[in-house]
A = this chain, B = another copy of it.
Amino acid sequence: MKPRPTHVFESRKLSRFLGFSFLVASETFQHTGSFKFRAAMNTVLNSEAEHLVTISSGNFGQALAAACESAGKKCTVLMPATSARVKVEAVKSFGARPELVDVTLKPRNQWLEEYIAAMQAAGEKEIEVVSPYDDDRVIEGNSSLMDDLAPYSDRFDTVLVPVGGGGLASGVVQGIKRNGLSCTVYGVEPSIADDAARSIKEDRLLANKTEPMTIADGVRTLSLGERNWKILKDGLDGVLTVEEEEIEEAVRLYFELANLKAEPSGALSLAALKRYKATDLLSDKKPLVIVSGGNVDATIYAELIR
């Protein structure tokens, strides 16, 4: 199964409301509802293993499950015991096995190591752990987004992309190079999770002390991955930060004016556009905002759009 072309549009109502013309590239209609399917599918196709394992409460788990199903591989997703039931069911629906683990007891990596060790002791050899971002196959998979966007390159000169572990942002940078595009790229992160902004500023990989509890749950990472950092430290033109209320407002604006259901992490780039549109960074630019995904719980979403 191939990734679906990204959904590119300009919302006249939204552009007019903001007084600023820009393009939207939305991955909300990607298989499993987020860009992560690009990463997962490319990884699965380039893995020798018969059984792939990851730990995820969110989009990567579903994406890996669907990719493994399509390639006929076995898949296990370790999920925090507190994961929403609908997410556990989604993983199951793609034929993968969800394993609920208590992440307050042990760090995620330890759960993964112990699970792999147990499987290997039980005789499984062709088993591999997949990182949602710190993996060359993941980055390459995500870079296909820019192949989809290359035909629109006369309509944008600046890309705003959400940053968590940096999987999507590093894919974007790689894809821009491969397609010979020339444009400025800004990462966007919540200001309460500004490890990437600080890393770029100090030119060394820095981490948050704890997982930041931003509403943008897709970017609740401690730091960029090492492979991602290598690409992003020179590939990004900067990292813009936005406040929690600005992320919430962006979700609402997509709903109200563009009929787009975006998850908070996906709305980061619009939040940054609204915050920085009058500054030198954007005022005379043609921006493209990337919406990374649309999977958000109904209860949270209902609160956000009111």
The answer to the question of A170 belonging to the interface, with a C-beta cut-off of 8 Å to chain B, is: no
B294 touches A299 (CB 8 A): no
* Chain B residue contacts of A174, Cβ below 8 A: none
> Known contacts being A4-B9, A93-B13, is A259 close to B86, with CB within 8 Å?
no
Please give the count of copies of this chain that the complex contains: 2
Chain B residue with the shortest CB-CB distance to A62 = B13
Total contacting residues, chain A, CB less than 8 A:
33
**Chain B's nearest CB lies how many Å from the CB of A219?**
18
* Chain B residue contacts of A302, Cβ below 8 A: 301-303, 305-306
Among the listed stretches A29-37, A120-128, A144-152, A160-168, which one makes contact with chain B, having 4 or more residues with CB under 8 Å of it?
A: A29-37
The answer to the question of A12 belonging to the interface, with a C-beta cut-off of 8 Å to chain B, is: yes
A298 touches B13 (CB 8 A): no
A33 touches B259 (CB 8 A): yes
Chain B residue with the shortest CB-CB distance to A30 = B259
B33 touches A12 (CB 8 A): no
The listed residue (B16, B32, B258) touching A13 by CB distance below 8 A is B32
B-facing mask of A10-21, CB < 8 A → 1, else 0? Answer: 011100110000
* Complex CA–CA separation, A298 to B306 (angstroms): 6
B294 touches A305 (CB 8 A): no
* Chain B residue contacts of A33, Cβ below 8 A: 13, 259
The listed residue (B7, B11, B298, B301) touching A7 by CB distance below 8 A is B7
* Chain B residue contacts of A258, Cβ below 8 A: 29
* Chain B residue contacts of A261, Cβ below 8 A: 255, 259-261
